[in-house]
Amino acid sequence: MSPQVILELEKKVLNGQKLETSELGQLINTEHLTTLSDSANRITRMCHGNKIDVEQLANIKKNYCSEDCVFCGQSAFFNTGIDSYQLLPANEILEMAKKAKTEGAQSYCLVAAWRQPSES
């Protein structure tokens, strides 16, 4: 995909049109990352201005995932050199959320590693 095609797709998005699946695939595989990044920034600024949202992440279960995903530092199979712990108690998670709010976070994301949520 050429830089010109990326710019054409940018115009399409800015005109309120949705991109086709094939167009999205081309964007994902482009070698022209600077052009893509610049276009994404212009789209973001047009849609959201210069506003940012502050999000805080809380790692509530660290390095105890039973999966062996080579790309993920949450797996218990890897010695990452950082502290590991099971799921934090609910009251501790709540206190962390309250602290995040007082520090200006508009959203609070809980990060925990396991195969899938339980049925309960």
Cβ atoms within 10 Å, residue 81:
5
| Domain edges within the chain | 3-48, 55-112
24 phi-psi bin (left φ>0, alpha ψ -120 to 50, beta other) = alpha
Average pLDDT rounded to a whole number, residues 73-85? 74
Cα separation, 18 vs 16, in Å, equals 7
Average pLDDT rounded to a whole number, residues 53-79? 78
29 phi-psi bin (left φ>0, alpha ψ -120 to 50, beta other) = alpha
pLDDT single digits (tens) 103-115: 999 999 988 876 6
What SS3 class is residue 103? Answer: coil
Q: Is the pLDDT of residue 64 over 90?
A: no
